[in-house]
Structure formats: structure tokens, C-alpha cells
A and B are shown apart, each in its own frame.
Chain A
Amino acid sequence: MNALTTMMLLPLIGSILVAVIPSDQVLRIKQAALGTTLLVAISGILAWVKFDSSNTALQFVESAKWIPSFGINYAVGVDGLAIVLILMSVLLAPIVVLAGWNESEGGRWSPKVFYILILVLETMMIGVFAATDVFLFYVFFEAMLIPVYFLIGGFGTGERAAAAVKFLLYSLFGGLLMLASIIGLYVISGANGGHTFDITRLSELHMHMSSMTQNLLFLGFFIAFAIKAPLWPLHTWLPDAAAASTPGTSVLLLGVLDKVGTFGMIRFCLALFPDASKTFTPLIIVLAVISIIYGAFLAIGARDIKRLIAYTSISHFGFITLGIFAMTSQGMSGATLYMFNHGFSTAALFLVAGWMQSRRGSSTIADFGGLQRVTPVMAWTFFIAGMSSLALPGLSSFVSEFLVLVGTYTRYPVAAVIATFGIVLAALYILIPVQKALHGPTTPGNENLSDLNLREKIAIAPVIAIIVALGFYPSPLLNVINPASAHVLEVQGFTDPVPSESAGK
């Protein structure tokens, strides 16, 4: 059976398994969920090993007719970019389940519902990266909102209902704009060789569109992805959603779901509408730079640790978008690697922040202090995660951020220079909470906080390991990403600018 389809079916089977376990056997339910996600992670690693990085064509391809009269297929396949993101998703899922072992309790509904939603969501996360049929992609893109909506609204804290609704409405609005564009593509494909949603055939359609049509269709896709990613000024749902979710949901939301936005920009915006992408690039570069700086300033001012992480993500997504729309091979590779790294450094931050919150009963940064003395392991984990977030050399994010800036500089030097200030600000927004929460005198009330237990250590260890290992040795990933991102650019006729000095001599 096809590796991707298997990976999508496993969590679905797992969710049925969880559904039939009686609600009072909570431990069994958790074990079933963890077992399923581990199994998916293993099959994800196997697929990764089997993936042939020298081959730029789609791999693990499978196609079956779904709604033939509309030309809709169940079609999956991955290139180097998609497999990296799928790998990230399936690795994060068991970590989230293990790390949030107790966060499913105390929600509106029983833990059973929580794990069913997580598992169904995992199926859709894999599907959304694997789909090579635009309609199938859209179905996953929209349908995955529903489990997240219930995860935030049912198991979150604080203003969870409002945050869930805000998230859903923003996303639905973007999704419907994208639907209009998809219908446009469908109709144009019908007039040029028959209705289809096949991404390869659709990517040839832009030759048959007027530039006006192409721009409009591009915007439909781009706004949806910019809401997802999220890009300034469409970001306002994210801090609320992240603050109200459980840490595990936040990890999936920022780590995986938001990547669908940036992934979609590469997969759909660039591939389907190359001319419109060029037209809008200046605007998007500006938005990306604003996101980098604006997100960083908001993060510096944040009092709540979960909001802080959400704001840093806005800044990071600015970097990713910048790397994509620089349209250079380094920028593209850097952006893809950034997506992977951001998944893990954000996961580490959110999970540790969640543990801090559940121990202290507060997520306000000012309530912490002296954690270094009281809970050294937790403090060090947070420190490493923070250093990864500010892209300290030697940790994984540094490589990707460097690549993005280099890739941008060759084409948009001014944008790259401004974006570099984002790194300086990053040092501020990470070091301030590190100093306040970890160092200094122990804030009253924190004396008896317990350090990480064994389960939590096991959950966070692989995340830290990946952050450190990829910082020193990113080539296993880059070897897969580089050919794929070069291919993406090459297919639509984008070329790297030739360095002017060496060309002159």
C-alpha cells in the first residue's frame, strides 16, 4: 500500500480505536493515542529513508478517481518540500501527546474526545501536505479547521470560545476566497483541455490566463495562505488562539497548521501563478519585513509567555515568507528548512511554557523568577529552546535564518538589511523573558515548583536533540530540500541573480 495513504489511514484507525475504548479507561485511551502517533512517526521516518532526494519528480504517487465528473481525484505524492513537512508533523504528534499527557483532562469534554480530535487532525495534516489534487488539498485545508476549533474551544483555557471562533472565522474567510480561485481554475481548466484539479496540469494553465485573471486567482490563494501563515496584517487571530489553546494544540497550530500557509505559497501560489507571483512580490516582501519587525516588537512587549511565543512566530513567518518570495534557491531552501526548525523550536518553547504554566498556575512572565535554581532542567530546556528561537549559531534555526537572509540579499538587499534587525530584536524578546523567568531572585510562590518528571524529559529530549543536531549538521535535510527547491524555481522559470562583481571580472 502507498506509504502516504498508509500514514493517513493509521491515525484514522487509531481514532476509531480510541472511540471504542470506554471513556473511563483514560490511561488506555492515552496509550492507544500515543501508540498510534508513534506508529505513524515510524512509518514517516521509513518513508523519509525511502525518499530518493536525487529525484525531483513527485514520489509515493497514488491516484484514484474520486468524483470523476468534476475531474477530482484522490491524488497524493510528495516532493522534497512536502516530505520534510510531513516528517515534521508526524514527529511532533507523539511528542505532543506525550508532553500533554494530562492536558486532555479538565476540558469541557472527556479526554477521549481530545485524542479523537488529535488523531483525526493528524490524518488531515498529512493529507494537506501530500495532496497533489487541488480539490483534495482544499478539502483537507478546510476540514482540519473543525478539529482544531473544538480543540481550542473545548480544551483550552481563558477566553477559549472567543479565540476558537476568531480562528475559525478568519480561516473560513480565507478558505472561501481560495474556493473562488479554485472554481476559477476549474473553469479555466475546463476551457483548456478538460476539467482537472491535477497540480501538474494546472501549473501549465497560467499561459491561458490574462494577467488580470491570474492576479485575482493568485490573490484568492495568497490571502488564504497569508491568514494561515499568518502575515501582518492578517495575524490578529493567532495570539488569541495560541494563548487560549493547550500547549499541545498550540504546537500543532503554530508548528504544523500555520506551515500549510507557507507551504501553500510555494506549492500553489508560485507554481500555479508564476507571473502574478512576480507582480506581487514587492508587496509581499514589504508585508514580510513588516511582520518580522512588528512581530518582534509585539513579542518584546508581551507579558504573557504564550502570547510572546505567538508573536515570535509572526516574526518567524515573516522570515519564511521573505525567503520564499526572494525566489532564489538559497531563500527557498532556507524557508523550507526554517519551517521544519520553527516547528521544533516553537514546540519546545510551548511545551516548556505549558509545563511552567501548569506548575505555577499562571502564564504571566512576571510571576516566574529564579526557575534556574528551583527547576534547573526545565529552565535549561527553556533556555535552549529560546536560543534556538533567536537563531543562535550552532542551533538549527541559525542555518535556516542565515540561508533566508543570504538568499534575500542577492535580490532584495534593502529588505534583507531591515530583516536583519529582526535578529537583534529576537535577542531582546528571548533574553528578556529568560532573564525575568529563569534568573534573578526566586519569586515568592515559586520555591516549591517541581522539576520536569521523567515523562516530560522523554517528551522534550528528542526536540532538543533535533534542534542541536540540525544546528551542527543540517545536510540530511538540506540534501532533500535543495534539489526540490531548485526544481520549484526552475519549473516556473525563476533564476538566481548572478553576482555582479564576479560577472564583471
Chain B
Amino acid sequence: MDFTAPVLNYALLAPILIVLGGALLGVLIEAFAPRASRHNSQLFVTVASLVIALSALLRVRKQVSVSAAMGSITFDGAGVLFQASILVIAILSVFLIADQENFTALPAAVPGSDEERHSLQTDMRVTEVYPLTLFAVAGMLLFPLSSDLITLFVALEMLSLPLYLMAGLSRRRRLLSQEAALKYFLLGAFSSAFFLFGVAYLYGYSGSITFSGIQASIVGGSGNDVFLLLGIAFISVGLLFKVGAVPFHAWSPDVYQGAPTAITGFMAAATKVAAFGAILRIFYVAFANAEWQWRPALILISIVTMVFGSVVAISQRDVKRMLAYSSIAHAGFLLAGVIALSKAGLEASIFYLFAYGIATVGAFGIVTLVRDSAGEVTDLNRWSGLGKRSPVIASAFAFFLLAFAGIPLTSGFIGKFSIFSAAYESGSTAVLIAGVLSSAIAAFFYIRVIVLMFFKDPAEDGTSVLIPSGLTKTTIAITSVITLVLGVYPAPLINFIASSAFFIR
């Protein structure tokens, strides 16, 4: 039997491989390094591998190849932009994760057991969150580059499995955190099954698992359209689950709330980039010629998602749940970019993803700082008067909220403008109107938080803002500056995106 060695373009795969290498190194450190030095070396390895991966990516950013890994991975301009966004967001999130106070010391211990108490008292920490983060990042890097359905599925699982675990690492309210992890895992497994089901249908339809093969079959029009429709529908379920689009959103408020806040930020920002990257690629490359089949459904999902997220967010009393519903609404806005199915839509989506991801990491970074003696305070009522006690942090949070609301001079406004105009340009008037109206609804709850922080008197219950550690401070400062700069002078980034936002088949 002949065996042909796979031909891999290592230069183009370098970012993924470097991150995977860092993850494996992290596992080794966890096993062999002395406990005292473990945390610092883990942090170093994680940040270093992300930074090296980013620089390796930037070195090959001009290259284009469909055969980076024998047709399974397509390396193109849009892919570079997705990967770069994921890496930047991941680096900023790792700074938040480095504040270990919010993570339980020994996740394997049963909640409430002596073992757990002992590990916390003696601070016998395990630091597996770092390699888990790197594994997830590697999956995320692969996800938007996958150009066949099997690779796409592998990448999906690769990014999901570590995230299921990471959601359960919270130090306080262990049971809630573990419930969140379990919920996320079960629903995730369910959606993966849908996804695989869709893969089977598409294979049945086209006899191919590659995006270009599927596209060729759609153009040829020889297959059974029922299989195509079922395939697109089931694959969409799997992908829309990851971005939290209605009606596949049910996990996200619970998981956002239960997971350690630093992880929530990472998950909300990076997963969205990766998942939307994959959605954009598969819809723009494989399904583009079947737009009449999927566009009406996606328009409906987009509208329902933005309206639902905005309306339900109003009644939330917990800052993390509120941000979860807000992220659902933003998933709806982002779907407008998929619906646009144009170069403008792709550019707008990439800008929006980056801007939103950065602001999200910053906002969750601030949530980690608001605490009392029992840990983080996420009840919004207890945030009242925060502006009095720590004006800088409260102002930064208000600024992120204004960015989410899409007020001019923040990155959110440019993102909103470009994505809605792309959607309208391709004829989706309904999406434009629904988007504008749900933005108005969303403004209500963002502003309510600002009112709470600035116009209400402080609650006398010991809620205070922690003096941020150096790394958290760095993250909040960088994310604020990026959010402002992208709002005031976005032209350089927009031009950069425009020059390289393209998919190749």
C-alpha cells in the first residue's frame, strides 16, 4: 500500500502550530515545573507563544494559498485578518486571566469539599487554564481558515472543548460555574451533532466535503436540492449556536454568568471572531450561489436575534447577563454582514468583529475589578455610585457601553454604520430598520448602567473597585485607546481591511 506524505506549508500554518506548541509546553510545565514558579512560567509561555504566532502571521500576511494543508486550509487575506484579531484579543484576555484571584485553585476538587478548602487556603494552585486557553486559541485560528467540512468540524471541537472546561473554573459560586460548564457542554455537543448531520447531507448532495466542491455542485445544480437545504440548515444550526444567535442562544446568559469573568470576556470576544469568520467563509465561499435558499432565513434570524437580545437585556439585573444579551444583539447585527454577501459586507464584518471584541474584553476586564469581600459583584444595583468612588474605571466602563450602543466617536459607531450600510446596499431594508430600532432599544439599558454608576448615590455595602493589577490595567488602557482611536480615525484600519478582505476558493 502506497503512503503519500501530506504536503504542508509550514510557514502559513506557523501561527497555529506555534500556539499548539505553546499549549503542549504548558502541559509539560504543569506536570514538571516546581509549583512556585509555575504560574509565572505559564504566563510567560502563553503570552510569548501568542506574540510569536502574531509576528509569524504578520510575516506571511501577503501570501495566499489554497494548499496550505492539502486543500483543507485556505490561507487568504480575510483569514489573516481573522487570525490577527483572534491573537490580539487573546493576548489582551490572557492579561485578565493572569489575575488568578477569580479562578479556583483546584478545579478537580468537589465544590465545598475539604480538599477544595485546603487547596484554597494553602494556595496550591494548578494553572491548567493557560494551556487550555492556548488550545482554544489554536482551534479558533483554524476555524475561520478551514475550507472543508471535516477540518471545520475538528476546529469547532478543538476550540469548544477547552472552553467547556474553562467555563467551570470560577472560584466563587462553584456550583453555578459548574452548571454553566455542563450546560455549555451538553448544548454544545447537541449542536455539534446537528453540524455533523449537516455535513453528511452536504456530502450526500455534492459528493464533496470541500467548500469549493460544494460550490461547484451548487453552480452545476445537479444535486438534490432537499439535501442541500437540509445540509445548509443543519450546519447553520451548529455555527449559529457558537455565536449565540436566537433561537440557539439559550446557553449564553448562563455561561456568561457562571464562567470566570476573564474567561467570559475571552469567550465572548474571541469565539465570536472565530465563529463569524467560519460563518462568513462558508456562506461567502461554499453557499454564495444558493443565496436565495438561505438568505431569507438568515435575515429572519438576524432580525429576531437583534430585537430579542435588545429587549431581553432591558430586564437584566446582573451585569454579566446583561452583557450576554447585549452580545446576542450584536450577533444579530453581525449577521447583517453575512446577509450582505458583498465585499463591503465582509469588510464591515471584520471591522465590527475586531472593534466589538476589543471593547468586550475591556468591559469584562472592568467587571473583574468590581468586588466586595466575597468576590466579584455583578448585581447591577450594587454598582450604583461607582462613578463617585472610582471615576476613572466607571468612565472607562461607560465609554465601552457607549461603544456597544454605537455612539459616534467610538469604534462601535463606525462598525454599526458600515455593517448596516453594507446590508442595505445589498437590498435588506428590513435588516437596516430592525437594526436601527433595536439599537435604540439597546441604548436604553446601556444608558441605565451609566445612570446607575454616575447619578445614583453609592450603596453602603462594601462594594469597591479593586486597584487593578498592572496587566489588567494594561488591558483596560489598550482596549479603551483602541476603541477611541477606531472611532475618531478609523481610516488606516479600514484601508488595511479593505486591501486584504477577500476569500479565495
The residues of A with any CB-CB pair to B shorter than 8 Å are: 65-70, 108-109, 138-140, 142-143, 145-146, 150, 153-154, 160-161, 164-165, 168-169, 172-173, 176-177, 179-180, 183-184, 186-187, 190
Bound together, the chains give a CA A177 to CA B447 distance in angstroms of 18
B residues with a Cβ closer than 8 A to A are 388, 391, 402, 405, 407-409, 413-414, 416-418, 420-421, 424-425, 432-433, 436-437, 439-440, 443-444, 447-448, 451, 454-456, 489-491, 494-495, 498
Residue of B nearest to A195 (CB): B421
Known contacts A67-B491, A69-B494, A153-B455; decide if A183 and B421 are in contact (CB<8 Å).
Answer: yes
A-B contacts, 10 listed (Cβ < 8 Å):
A66-B491, A139-B408, A140-B408, A154-B454, A165-B451, A168-B447, A169-B443, A177-B436, A183-B420, A183-B421
**CB within 8 Å for A180 and B436 given contacts A68-B495, A142-B407, A143-B407:** yes
Return B44 CB to nearest CB of chain A, in Å. Answer: 38
A183 and B424 within 8 A (CB):
yes
A381 to chain B, nearest CB (A): 33
Chain A residues with CB under 8 Å of B443's CB are: 168-169, 172-173, 176
Extra contacts besides A108-B455, A183-B432 (11): CB < 8 Å:
A65-B491, A68-B491, A69-B495, A70-B417, A146-B402, A153-B454, A154-B454, A154-B455, A172-B405, A176-B439, A184-B432
Q: Could you count the A-B residue pairs with CB atoms below 8 Å apart for me: how many are there?
A: 87
Q: Which residues of B contact A142 (CB under 8 A)?
A: 407-408, 413
- The answer to whether A143 and B409 touch across the interface, beta carbons within 8 angstroms, is yes
Q: Which residue of A lies closest to B402 (CB)?
A: A146
Contacts of A150 in B (CB 8 A): 454
Of B388, B416, B494, which is within 8 A of A67 by CB? B494
Q: Bound complex: CA of A186 vs CA of B416, how far in Å?
A: 14
Among all A-B residue pairs, the 9 with the closest Cβ atoms: A161-B455, A139-B408, A180-B436, A183-B421, A142-B408, A187-B425, A143-B408, A176-B436, A176-B440
Chain A nearest Cβ from B344, distance in angstroms? 9
B408 CB contacts on chain A under 8 angstroms: 138-140, 142-143
Known contacts A65-B491, A67-B490, A70-B418, A153 near B407 by CB under 8 Å? no
Tell me the complex Cα distance, A177–B435, Å: 10
> How distant is the Cα of A177 from the Cα of B413 in the complex, in angstroms?
14
Docked complex Cα distance between A443 and B416 (Å)? 57
| Shortest Cβ distance from residue A64 to the other chain B in the assembled complex, whole angstroms | 11
Kindly state the separation between the CA atoms of A67 and B411 in the bound complex, as whole angstroms. 13
- Docked CA distance A184–B451 (Å): 33
Question: Which chain B residue has the least Cβ–Cβ distance from A139?
Answer: B408
**Does A172 lie within 8 Å of B491, measured CB to CB?**
no
Contact assessment for B454 and A108 in the assembled complex, using a CB-CB cutoff below 8 Å: yes
Chain A residue contacts of B407, Cβ below 8 A: 142-143, 145-146
B421, B489, B498 pick with most chain A CB within 10 angstroms: B421
Q: Measured between alpha carbons, how far is A177 from B498 in the docked complex, in Å?
A: 28
Instruction: Kindly identify which residue among B444, B456, B491, B494 contacts A161, using a CB–CB cutoff of 8 Å.
Output: B456
- Among candidates A69, A160, A184, A190, residue contacting B455 with C-beta atoms closer than 8 Å: A160
Is B447 a contact of A183 with CB atoms below 8 Å? Answer: no
Q: For the complex, what is the distance from the CA of A146 to the CA of B443, rounded to whole Å?
A: 13
Rounded to whole angstroms, the CA-CA distance of A154 and B414 in the bound complex is 28
Chain A proximity of B435: nearest CB distance (Å): 8
A179 contacts B417, CB within 8 Å? yes
Per the bound structure, the CA–CA distance linking A143 and B413 in Å amounts to 11
Point out which of B391, B405, B425 has the most chain A C-beta atoms below 10 A from its C-beta: B425
Which residue, of A138, A168, A180, A184, has the highest number of chain B Cβ atoms within 10 A? Answer: A180
Shortest A38–chain B CB gap in Å is 27
- Using Cβ atoms and an 8 Å threshold, which residues of chain B touch A65? 491
Least CB separation from B489: chain A residue: A66
Contacts of B440 in A (CB 8 A): 172-173, 176
Is the Cβ of B491 less than 8 Å from the Cβ of A187? no
Which chain B residues border A67 with CB–CB below 8 Å?
Answer: 414, 490-491, 494
Q: How far is the CA of A177 from the CA of B433 in the complex (A)?
A: 8
Q: For the complex, what is the distance from the CA of A153 to the CA of B418, rounded to whole Å?
A: 32
In the complex where A108-B455, A142-B408, A173-B440 touch, is A180 in contact with B433 (Cβ < 8 A)?
yes
**A180–B420 alpha-carbon span in the complex (Å):** 8
Inside 8 A of B405's CB, which chain A residues have their CB? 172
Q: Is the CB of B491 within 8 A of A184?
A: no
| Of listed A70, A168, A187, residue having the most chain B CB within 10 A | A187
B438 nearest in chain A by CB position: A176
Report the Cα distance A108→B384, complex, angstroms: 14
Contacting pair B447 A169 (CB below 8 A): yes
Instruction: Tell me, rounded to whole Å, the shortest Cβ–Cβ distance linking B43 to chain A.
Output: 36
Tell me which residues across on chain B come within 8 A of A179, comparing CB atoms: 416-417, 420, 436
Instruction: Name the residue on B nearest A191 (C-beta).
Output: B425
Question: Which B residues are in CB contact (< 8 Å) with A164?
Answer: 451, 455
Residues of A within 8 A of B402 (CB): 146
**Shortest Cβ distance from A213 into B: residue:** B429
Residue among A139, A143, A153 making CB contact with B451, cutoff 8 Å: A153
- Chain B residue contacts of A108, Cβ below 8 A: 388, 454-455
A contact residues around B490 at 8 Å (CB) = 67
Q: How far is the CB of B241 from chain A (nearest CB, A)?
A: 30
Q: How far in angstroms is the closest Cβ of chain A from B195?
A: 34
Within the assembled complex, what's the spacing in Å between the Cα atoms of A145 and B489?
Answer: 20
Q: Is the CB of A180 within 8 A of B495?
A: no
Please name the residue on chain B nearest to A186 by beta carbon.
B421
CA distance A109 to B385 in the complex (A): 12
Query: Does A180 contact B447, Cβ atoms closer than 8 Å?
Result: no
- Complex contact B421–A187 (CB within 8 A): yes
Question: In this complex, what residue of A is CB-closest to B407?
Answer: A142
Q: From A66, A69, A145, give the contact of B498 (CB < 8 A).
A: A69
Q: Inside 8 A of B437's CB, which chain A residues have their CB? A: 176
In the bound complex, CA of A184 to CA of B425 (Å): 8
What chain B residues lie within 8 Å of A146 (beta carbons)?
Answer: 402, 407
Which residue from A109, A169, A180, A183 sits with its C-beta under 8 Å from B444? Answer: A169
Taking the closest CB of chain B, its distance from the CB of A172, in whole angstroms, is: 5
Whole-angstrom distance between the Cβ of A72 and the nearest chain B Cβ: 9
Given A142-B407, A168-B447, A180-B436, answer yes or no on A69-B491 (Cβ-Cβ < 8 Å). Answer: yes
Give the residue name and chain of the B residue nearest to A135 (CB): B417
B420 contact set on A, CB distance < 8 A: 179-180, 183
A145 CA to B406 CA in the complex, in Å? Answer: 13
Which chain B residues border A143 with CB–CB below 8 Å?
407-409
Q: Which residue of A lies closest to B426 (CB)?
A: A187
